[in-house]
Structure formats: C-alpha cells, structure tokens
Chain A
Amino acid sequence: MTNHWIDIRNSDCILIMGSNAAENHPISFKYVTQAMEKGAKLISVDPRFTRTSSKADIYTALRSGTDIAFLGGMIKYILENNLYNKEYTAAYTNAPFIVGESYGFNDGLFSGYKKGGEEGPSLGSYDKSKWAFEMDGNKVPKMDRTLKHKRSVFQLLKVHYSRYDLDTVSKVTGTPKEDLLEVYKTYAATGATGQAGTIMYAMGWTQHTVGTQNIRTMAMIQLLLGNMGVAGGGVNALRGESNVQGSTDHCLLWHIWPGYLKTARASNDSLDAYNTKWTPKSQDPLSANWWSNYPKYSVSMLKSFFGKNATKSNQFGYNWLPKVDDGKAYSWFDIFDDMYKGDISGFFAWGMNPACSGSNVSKIRKSMENLDWMVNVNIFDNETGSFWKGPDKDPSKIKTEVFMLPAAVFVEKEGSITNSGRWMQWRYQGPKPLGNSRPDGDIIMELGHRIKEKYKTSDSVFKDPIVNLKWDYETNGTYDPHKAAKEINGYFTKDCTVKGKQCKKGTLVPSFAWLQADGSTSSGNWLYCNSYTEKGNMSARKGQKDAPNNIGLFPEFAWCWPVNRRILYNRASVDPQGRPWDKKDWVVKFAGEVKDGKYVSKKWLGDVPDGGWYPLENPDGSKRKDAKHPFIMRKHGHAQIFGPGRADGPFSEHYEPLECPVEKNYFSSQMVNPTAVVYSSKADAHATCDPRFPFVGTTYRVSEHWQTGLMTRPQEWLMELQPNVFVEMSEELAKLRGIKNGERVNVSSARATLECTAVVTKRFKPFTIGYATVHQVGIPWHYGWRWPSTGTEESANLLTPPAGDPNTRIPETKAFMVNVTKL
C-alpha cells in the first residue's frame, strides 16, 4: 500500500476491484465502513457479486481478465471530459515528457518487438530503448508543461486510449455501457481538488498474464486524478498474509535483494560493475533521484552479510554472493519447471504448501517425484510433505526422502511482521512452542551452523561465502530476534564522522540517510534502517497520539518504512508552493518562514515528508533551484504515466488471457500478451477457444479459510462454515447443464478435473461478450486432499494454467477455461 489501512477512512470514493475486501480482508471493512459513514461512495467491480458487493453503492460485473479494457475506458472518459487534475498532472507526472520518435504502437504491438524470448518461455520481448524520452542538451528529459506537444506522454496517452470506447469496452468486458459510465463518472469525480479516491486490489488484479499492467493502468488513473500522495488516495495492494509485505521487502523473490536492490547478474562481474549497472543517473538538479544512493545500500548490505570479513580489498564479499545467469529467470514457475525436468534434486518447502498453492499443481506434485530429498518446515503435515502418498501416487515408486521439521506457530515466537500498510509491528511470544516444534529462526540458525561446520572441515569448492558469512544472531544458544532486527537496521562498523556528527563504532545507524558506501556502515535492508535505533525498537511502540493533521497517521504506533513515512509520495499532496491540495485532510504542508515573497527557512508539518527540501516554488511564484520534484524514487522525479521500464509496454493494452472464450481480441490482432511467459512441458497443457472448455473459470478465497487451508481445514469451527470445495455458477448455467443447487459436479480444464459442490446463485450472471453469451464460474482454492480425511476436497489449482506475467511471472490463476458437468 502507498497509504495504509486506517487511511481508507479518509477516502471519498473507494473502488474495490481485483479484490474482495469484505471477505478476504474483513478488518479493512472497519475503515471502508467509516468512510461510507462520512459519505464516501463504494464501488465494487467483480465477475461475481460478493459480500463486498453487498455493501457497495455501485456494483457491476466484468469478465475475468478484462480489467485493462475496463480501466482503459475510464482513462478515455477522464481525458475526454477534462476530469483530470491538470495542475497535478502537469507538475508531478511525466505527462509533459517528450517521447522519442522511435516509439510507436500498431495493432497491439509497441515498437521494438521481437518474437521469442531470451528468458526461457517468453512469447517475445521488447527492445525498450525504442521507448526512450527525448533529452535536452543537459541530458534532462524534454518537457512541455502545457501538455500539447504531439509526442508528449499526455498526447500519446490520449491517442492510445482513444480506442477504448464504450462499445468496444463493453463488448470485451461484458459490462453494460450504462454501468461503465456510472463507475467512470463516480470515480472520476475524485479528480476534483480536495477529493480523494482509493483503490483496494489484490490477487484479482495481479494473477494474470497482464497483472503488472492491470496495476499500472490504475496507477495512471490515480495520477491523472491527483490521487497519489494524498490522504484517502493511493494504490493499495491488500496483502494476503500478515507478513507478505515484510517478506517481499526482505527479498522473498528471486530477482530482488533486501530493500528492492537488484539480484546480481553474472555479467555484473565486480561490485563496481554491479553498482554502476543498477544506479540510475540523472542530470536534472531538481531530481533527487534517490536511487543514486544505491552503492551505499548495497555495500552496507554486504557488510551486514559478511561483517568484518567484508573489506574494500575483497569488494566487501560481492563475489561471494550467487549471481543469476543473464537472461534466465528463477521464479516459482521456473523452479518447478527445472524440478520437473530433473534439474533440482533437493528442496526446502518452508512455510509453504506448493502442492496446493501453485498454478497447475499436478505438475508441481509430479516434479517433486524427481527430488532426492525434501525438507518440509511447517506447523502441520500438508499435501506437500505427503505428496508421495497423494492421489494417483504409488509410494513404492517414489524415491524422495521427506523430512518434516515442525515449526512453532506465530503466537509462539517473538519477532516482527510488516503489514500491507508497511507498518513493522513487533510481536511478543505467547505460549511456548509445543512438543519439539521450534521457531523458524532457531531452525535457520542451527541449519546455518551445521552447514558452516561442514564447509569448514571439508575441502569443498568455493567455501568462502559460507565460512565468511556472519552468523551470530543468538543469545544463550537460541535465536534472538532483537539481534536480527538490529542487524537489519544496521550499525556503524567503525568510529566515523557522518553529516558532521561523530558516530561510534557498534552503535545503531539512525536512518538510511547515514549509510555509507565505504564499509563504515552495515544494514541488512536499507529500507528498514531507522526501525531499531539507539532510541530502541521503534516497531514495538504503542503510542496512541495522532499527528496534528488528525488523519489517522498515529506516527508513534509501531514503525513504517521508509523512515516512518505513513503515506508515500506525500509531497505530491501539496501544490508546488507547499500548500495542501486538500485543506481539511492534509498530509504534509510547508510552514517555513517567508520574507519578500520567498521561503527563507525549511519546515514541514504532518507526515514525514518525502525529503525535506524546499517546495518547487516560492509564495511569489518564482521557481526555486534548491527544490526537488516529489517522486524522489523515480530517476527524473516524476511519476510515470509512461512506464518505459516494463517488459510489456510503456502503456497498458488489453490482451486476452492465455485461455479465453473469444476468438478475437476486439482491440488488436494480438490475442495474448505478446511477452507473456507460457510453459510447455508435457504437464503444461492449455486450450483456448476450445469447445471442450466453454466457460471462464477463476479462483478466489472465502472469509472462512486461509491460503491452502493448512491452518483452517483442521479447524472444525471453520470447516463447519465452509466444509466443501465448491463451484459457483449462475442459475442460467445450472439450467443449461441440468445442475441442481448443492449437487456434486465435475469442473475440468485442459489440466485436470476437480469434483466440487455446485453453488447455484443469482450472484453470477452470464456475460454478453461480443454477440455471444459467456458463462463464468469460480472456485475457492483453499482445499487439498490431505484434510478433511475423506480426501474428496481437492485444490482448485489442479485446474489453473501454466502461464504468467512477463514482469513478475505471477501465474494467471484468475482467468482460464473450464467445463462443468454433472458427475
């Protein structure tokens, strides 16, 4: 979330699309309800009428996988009706930037397209240099703040989305035109100064072959409406677990290191080469280009990993870190693809249940047979640890040795979680772990010690990374979460002078502004530098006082990255002279002294500002040379309506899901995202526009279960509420197939068949797509054969497809094709 949970209450219009907040984030509805009490409008857009929809002022349905068409229509509506926030768009976004002449878009393809990919199963890739901005003599992007230049981002945006007219959008999405207009009109009203609109989204937007561009499209809308940085605005991802945000921040994903540093490629053959490659450069004196600090963060991270063994002469241990091959991806999909091919022989499944949670789990379950060993670290046995005795498996033919390490459950251990709103919150141990279960920290520490011991005594190849690893996060022989938290924050590693102040070796670094690239500081994750300082554990704070703007920031409660800033990009919530757009619910405001129409001292009130520089203009309207544009994490200081870094294009474009019910994409002759990743082993079947699978399928969650159900399926009170895997369908589809409400049916895709209980409901309605009727069904993915013991309630991910987004490789589990038949 760019904002945070409480901030939802400050919104004037809440769009819930790509998520089902009432069911899957029930507590969030406290704040949605509070906003509505103050007059906010709630819009629910979902293929199916949900518990969220039941509370909405406006509900409308769209076919799964058509969000870009829906939102593209909204961009067109905003632009054509002049509802965008002109001052904001011109000042803070890259709408005025001039795009080079090599940029082009024709029939669904941007310029620079090449079929086939370097990165394994990609359908194709782009030469992104074709999308570069035009630079002036000082290497600063050329701009036209009037937004009139025909190659300005703004004008290109207008042209691009002019094709998203109501007729075509409605034909693709199946949403009636009058509903589209009502949603567009209601949401676009937040473009007015002082109005804020917010989006609450989750996997309904991300899990598509166009997942990243779904979010990009909404981000563009939020920028056009001036909704970024303001209270009650933002782009808000609702995370599916209490600590998904934390695990992402700390490099859960293969392509990033802690704090969103880049994983080194093999071609980054020295620390210098690595830092040079990934440190963006800007010649604009008004651009803070915060990532120019990159080397300070990467070196501090290496100092944290290798401690005193990391020295300038050995590049702080840079060469000890594993590098990924250029052009190769190592995502979830790729791991199991490699495992399927027999290239991976050992596997840790840690707090995960891939045998139920991944897309196309039959392949995942099959690939596990190729392992020599698996270590399953979890609180209960699950479908992963027991894969060898699962449905259709012959244990006598499976060689994999499985070790189960029982882990302590969250209440039994101390440590932090980071919630969706980026709040790091400390939790204390409640009951002691049961039996021989142990906290994850203890398991990791001991594993590390044993591996280090092995490497020390053997003559193994390349043992430096292991033996030199700093591994001292214990007190009295057990894992100490405070030591880990302090390491993440970082220390001064020698007496030094920073910012004119004496800093003592061994003391904690006050914030990332103090980190250095010379090895004098360590920090396991620069984004968290400031979370555990000499003032104490900031995440354990329980202060109940709100900030003076009284918008629910509660700055002394827990701690928020970065540097306790509760609303990201908050300097965009003020005009160029530092005055809030919204006088009532203001986030920050400049309160420096004025002399002769000029600011003469610096002072910001409210939230921690995105850098404490002077505003761009003085009260007399004169421009300041010592100011910085508000979007400090962007190279040029401006938010990106045009995003030239994405794999699939600088603007979004509607493409059909890999499996879709239509033979024609009404926007272009490109059916599928031309850069999507599609896997093609024998276990990766897919079928599009295939009469055998005529219905759109999607997966989702329910309030009563969690994730693969590992924690909820053994819970009898929850099983009482939702005992069976079910498939929801319209009354019309049920009639077509002769299916009675509550009877068991088969749902099949090109991958597998799943038995479900039919829930026949008014909450699903057939769509009119083009001129045809298209039915959609949906299935919760919380089940698995291991429990309940009947073994009849299986994972919906047996059905889901082997394709993903080119930027993230997240699977397309939210739109695929199925059939539904009576047993």
Chain B
Amino acid sequence: MSKSIFIDTTICTACRGCQVACKQWHDLPAEKTINVGSYQNPQDLSFDTYKLVRMKEEIINGRLEWLFFPDQCRHCVDAPCLETAFDENAIYRDPATGAILYTRESKKLDAEEITGSCPYNIPRKAMDGVLAKCDMCNDRIHNGLQPACVTACPTGAMTFGDREEILAFAKKRLGKVKQKFAKAMLLNPDEVNVIYLVGFDPQLYSDYAVASSDRGGLSRSVALRKMMGPFAKMMRV
C-alpha cells in the first residue's frame, strides 16, 4: 500500500525545521548562499536540496499574506519521470511505500528529458549527471519511522500515513479549512502522494504548485510505451 504525506500550508509557520531535518537525515551539504533580499534560501531546489520552503509576500483581498510552501517531490501515483526514464535501475517505485526513487544510474538518462517530464519541476542534476530529489525518507519508513521532515514539524502541518487514510484526512481537513479560507483546495490529490492543502490560488505559492500544463505531459515515446503496457518493457521501445 502506498504511503502519503499531507502538507497543510495553512498552519505552516515556515520555521524550516523540515528543510534542515531533510539535509540532516540525508547528510546533504549546505549550499553557499547569500541573502538576496528574502528569507527564502537557497533560492531553488538543487541536487543538494530536496526540500525547500518557498516564501511569497502577496496582497490578497487587500490583506498582506506571507505564503509558505514546503516544496518537494510529490511521488506521483503515475510518475512521468519514471515512465520517461523507463529504466528501473535508474528510477523505480518502491512497491511497499510508493516512493519514487532515483539511483546513481540516473546519470545514464537524458537528464533534461527527465526533469522536463516532471509537472512540478522537482528533479535536479549534479555536475556528473546524477539526478536527485526527495526520496520520502524511504529508509526511515522501512524502519518504522516517519519521514524526517514530518517528524520535525512543530505545528502538525505535515502528516504521514497510508494513502487512503491520508487522502480521507486531507479531504476532511479541507472541509474545515474552507470555513476560514473560502478558496482552499487540495493540489492534485488523486495524482500525487504528497498532497498539499493551500488557502489561496496555488499559482501564488509557486509556479509549479499544481501540475503545470506547459511541462511534463507525455512525450510520444512515453505515450507509446504506456499504450503497449507490459509489453513495452519486453520490447524496450
């Protein structure tokens, strides 16, 4: 059964404990940053930064809102990157958790094709061509722990569990949040395993908060493979 993470941005305080916990668990190096006039840092996801709290100041209905969006891989139910790679040694799904995982073999892939296939603009390439992104802390999950980011969250903005339960929880939560945020919505809940709840127009949080129509989608070769289903693998189309 797939696992899912629910991220309720309406109660996220952007303390960024998740961002640091992610680096700590994965032993990722700090990037050399400078303050460019915003608290958000680093400026974008990278090979060394799997999780990034995006911060935006927006005037909405005459009121200032500081929007926080802890961005990370959505671990799609049907993952375009996995379909595009079509190489289980490079990108595969852990059937036990549903986590989409990248290996060092990913450097043999066409990186641009993979990153371009992601509707959420997540995977990033190292100098040597290896691709990386959030792995849902798959190793922690197999050891009975929750993902590091979920454990670090002080307000309970992140919840982890079985997909069905999380989906039900997310929908229930949406009902409640709508009392305060009329335009609240879940982002692509049927398509992803990292389900965001936002209070305002998702485009305000990040260009890729919801699946972007100008990215991803299926290339002709991937569409063909999908159509052929299990035979595709045998034929290595």
Pick the contact of B57 from A704, A719, A761 — CB < 8 Å?
A761
Decide if B30 touches A742 in the complex (CB within 8 Å): no
Decide if B68 touches A54 in the complex (CB within 8 Å): yes
A741 at the interface (CB under 8 A from B): yes
Decide if A723 touches B35 in the complex (CB within 8 Å): yes
Q: Select from chain B the residue with minimum beta-carbon distance to A718.
A: B20
Pick the contact of A724 from B14, B34, B64 — CB < 8 Å?
B34
A30 at the interface (CB under 8 A from B): yes
Decide if B11 touches A717 in the complex (CB within 8 Å): no
A-facing residues in B1-43 (Cβ within 8 Å):
11, 13-17, 19-20, 23-24, 29-39, 41-42
With A30-B154, A51-B66, A742-B37 in contact, is A717–B24 under 8 Å at CB?
A: yes
Pick the contact of B13 from A54, A740, A742 — CB < 8 Å?
A54
With A51-B66, A54-B68, A703-B16 in contact, is A30–B37 under 8 Å at CB?
A: no
A22 at the interface (CB under 8 A from B): yes
- Chain A positions 736 through 770: 1 when the CB is less than 8 Å from some CB of chain B, otherwise 0: 00001111000000000000011111110000000
Decide if A51 touches B20 in the complex (CB within 8 Å): no
B59 at the interface (CB under 8 A from A): yes
With A49-B64, A719-B30 in contact, is A758–B37 under 8 Å at CB?
A: yes
Pick the contact of A723 from B23, B33, B155 — CB < 8 Å?
B33
A-facing residues in B137-162 (Cβ within 8 Å):
154-156
Q: In the complex the two chains form, what is the Cα distance from A718 to B17 in whole Å?
A: 10
B112 at the interface (CB under 8 A from A): no
B65 at the interface (CB under 8 A from A): yes
Decide if B154 touches A720 in the complex (CB within 8 Å): no
Q: In the complex the two chains form, what is the Cα distance from A722 to B31 in whole Å?
A: 11
Pick the contact of A762 from B36, B39, B57, B176 — CB < 8 Å?
B57
Decide if B36 touches A55 in the complex (CB within 8 Å): no
- Which residues of chain A have C-beta atoms less than 8 A from B29's C-beta? 716
A-facing residues in B33-65 (Cβ within 8 Å):
33-39, 41-42, 57, 59, 64-65
Q: In the complex the two chains form, what is the Cα distance from A763 to B20 in whole Å?
A: 25
With A26-B17, A49-B66, A763-B66 in contact, is A717–B23 under 8 Å at CB?
A: yes
Decide if B41 touches A33 in the complex (CB within 8 Å): no
Decide if A721 touches B16 in the complex (CB within 8 Å): yes
A726 at the interface (CB under 8 A from B): yes
A29 at the interface (CB under 8 A from B): yes
Categorize the interface residue count of chain A.
35 or more
Most buried by A among B11, B35, B57: B35
Decide if A742 touches B36 in the complex (CB within 8 Å): yes
Kindly provide the distance from the CB of A165 to the nearest chain B CB, expressed in whole angstroms.
27
Q: Select from chain A the residue with minimum beta-carbon distance to B17.
A: A26
- Which residues of chain A have C-beta atoms less than 8 A from B30's C-beta? 716-717, 719-720
A23 at the interface (CB under 8 A from B): yes
Q: In the complex the two chains form, what is the Cα distance from A54 to B9 in whole Å?
A: 11
Decide if A33 touches B156 in the complex (CB within 8 Å): yes
Q: In the complex the two chains form, what is the Cα distance from A743 to B37 in whole Å?
A: 8
With A29-B154, A718-B20, A720-B42 in contact, is A726–B35 under 8 Å at CB?
A: yes
Decide if B155 touches A30 in the complex (CB within 8 Å): yes
Most buried by A among B15, B33, B59, B156: B15
A181 at the interface (CB under 8 A from B): no
Q: Select from chain A the residue with minimum beta-carbon distance to B15.
A: A26
- Which residues of chain B have C-beta atoms less than 8 A from A742's C-beta? 35-38
Pick the contact of B41 from A53, A54, A721, A741 — CB < 8 Å?
A721
With A33-B156, A716-B29 in contact, is A54–B16 under 8 Å at CB?
A: no
Q: In the complex the two chains form, what is the Cα distance from A33 to B15 in whole Å?
A: 14
Q: In the complex the two chains form, what is the Cα distance from A751 to B39 in whole Å?
A: 28
Decide if A55 touches B37 in the complex (CB within 8 Å): no
Q: Select from chain A the residue with minimum beta-carbon distance to B36.
A: A742
A27 at the interface (CB under 8 A from B): yes
Most buried by B among A27, A51, A718: A51
- Which residues of chain B have C-beta atoms less than 8 A from A22's C-beta? 13, 15
Q: In the complex the two chains form, what is the Cα distance from A760 to B59 in whole Å?
A: 15
Decide if B37 touches A27 in the complex (CB within 8 Å): no
Pick the contact of A763 from B15, B19, B57, B176 — CB < 8 Å?
B57
Q: In the complex the two chains form, what is the Cα distance from A33 to B133 in whole Å?
A: 30
With A23-B15, A51-B14, A762-B64 in contact, is A722–B39 under 8 Å at CB?
A: yes
Decide if A53 touches B15 in the complex (CB within 8 Å): no
- Which residues of chain A have C-beta atoms less than 8 A from B65's C-beta? 54
Kindly provide the distance from the CB of A52 to the nearest chain B CB, expressed in whole angstroms.
8
Decide if B15 touches A722 in the complex (CB within 8 Å): no
Kindly provide the distance from the CB of A764 to the nearest chain B CB, expressed in whole angstroms.
11
Decide if A759 touches B35 in the complex (CB within 8 Å): yes
Decide if B156 touches A723 in the complex (CB within 8 Å): no
Q: In the complex the two chains form, what is the Cα distance from A638 to B126 in whole Å?
A: 68
Kindly provide the distance from the CB of A358 to the nearest chain B CB, expressed in whole angstroms.
25
With A55-B13, A719-B30, A721-B19 in contact, is A26–B154 under 8 Å at CB?
A: yes
- Which residues of chain B have C-beta atoms less than 8 A from A719's C-beta? 30, 33
Q: In the complex the two chains form, what is the Cα distance from A726 to B37 in whole Å?
A: 8
Decide if B13 touches A26 in the complex (CB within 8 Å): yes
With A720-B41, A742-B37, A763-B64 in contact, is A29–B13 under 8 Å at CB?
A: yes
- Which residues of chain B have C-beta atoms less than 8 A from A721's C-beta? 16, 19-20, 33, 39, 41
Kindly provide the distance from the CB of A710 to the nearest chain B CB, expressed in whole angstroms.
18
Kindly provide the distance from the CB of A647 to the nearest chain B CB, expressed in whole angstroms.
38
Q: In the complex the two chains form, what is the Cα distance from A721 to B68 in whole Å?
A: 15
B-facing residues in A18-35 (Cβ within 8 Å):
22-23, 26-27, 29-30, 33
Kindly provide the distance from the CB of B190 to the nearest chain A CB, expressed in whole angstroms.
26
Q: Select from chain A the residue with minimum beta-carbon distance to B180.
A: A57
- Which residues of chain A have C-beta atoms less than 8 A from B32's C-beta? 720
- Which residues of chain A have C-beta atoms less than 8 A from B154's C-beta? 26-27, 29-30
Decide if A720 touches B33 in the complex (CB within 8 Å): yes
Decide if B34 touches A722 in the complex (CB within 8 Å): no
Q: In the complex the two chains form, what is the Cα distance from A718 to B41 in whole Å?
A: 10
Decide if A717 touches B66 in the complex (CB within 8 Å): no
- Which residues of chain B have C-beta atoms less than 8 A from A59's C-beta? 64
Pick the contact of B31 from A704, A720, A759, A760 — CB < 8 Å?
A720
Most buried by A among B24, B29, B64, B65: B64
With A29-B154, A718-B20, A720-B30 in contact, is A762–B59 under 8 Å at CB?
A: yes
Q: In the complex the two chains form, what is the Cα distance from A724 to B37 in whole Å?
A: 10
Decide if B155 touches A724 in the complex (CB within 8 Å): no
Q: Select from chain A the residue with minimum beta-carbon distance to B40.
A: A721
- Which residues of chain A have C-beta atoms less than 8 A from B24's C-beta? 717
- Which residues of chain B have C-beta atoms less than 8 A from A757's C-beta? 34-35, 37
Q: Select from chain B the residue with minimum beta-carbon distance to A24.
A: B15
Q: Select from chain B the residue with minimum beta-carbon distance to A22.
A: B13
Q: In the complex the two chains form, what is the Cα distance from A51 to B40 in whole Å?
A: 13
Q: In the complex the two chains form, what is the Cα distance from A549 to B73 in whole Å?
A: 44
Q: Select from chain A the residue with minimum beta-carbon distance to B48.
A: A720
- Which residues of chain B have C-beta atoms less than 8 A from A51's C-beta? 13-15, 66, 68
Most buried by B among A26, A722, A762: A26
Q: In the complex the two chains form, what is the Cα distance from A411 to B176 in whole Å?
A: 41
Q: In the complex the two chains form, what is the Cα distance from A703 to B176 in whole Å?
A: 29
Kindly provide the distance from the CB of A27 to the nearest chain B CB, expressed in whole angstroms.
5
Q: In the complex the two chains form, what is the Cα distance from A721 to B13 in whole Å?
A: 15
Kindly provide the distance from the CB of B171 to the nearest chain A CB, expressed in whole angstroms.
17
- Which residues of chain B have C-beta atoms less than 8 A from A720's C-beta? 23, 30-33, 41-42
Most buried by A among B11, B13, B64, B176: B13
Known: A719-B30, A720-B41. 13 other contacts (CB 8 A): A49-B66, A54-B65, A702-B39, A703-B16, A704-B16, A716-B30, A717-B23, A718-B20, A742-B36, A757-B34, A758-B37, A760-B37, A761-B57
Can you list 29 A-B pairs, Cβ within 8 angstroms, ordered by A? Answer: A26-B13, A27-B154, A29-B15, A33-B11, A33-B155, A51-B68, A52-B13, A703-B15, A704-B16, A716-B30, A717-B20, A717-B24, A719-B30, A720-B31, A720-B42, A721-B19, A722-B35, A723-B41, A724-B34, A726-B35, A742-B35, A742-B38, A757-B37, A759-B38, A759-B39, A762-B57, A763-B57, A763-B64, A763-B66
In the complex, the 6 A-B pairs of residues with the closest C-beta atoms, listed nearest first: A742-B37, A741-B37, A716-B30, A54-B66, A720-B30, A22-B13
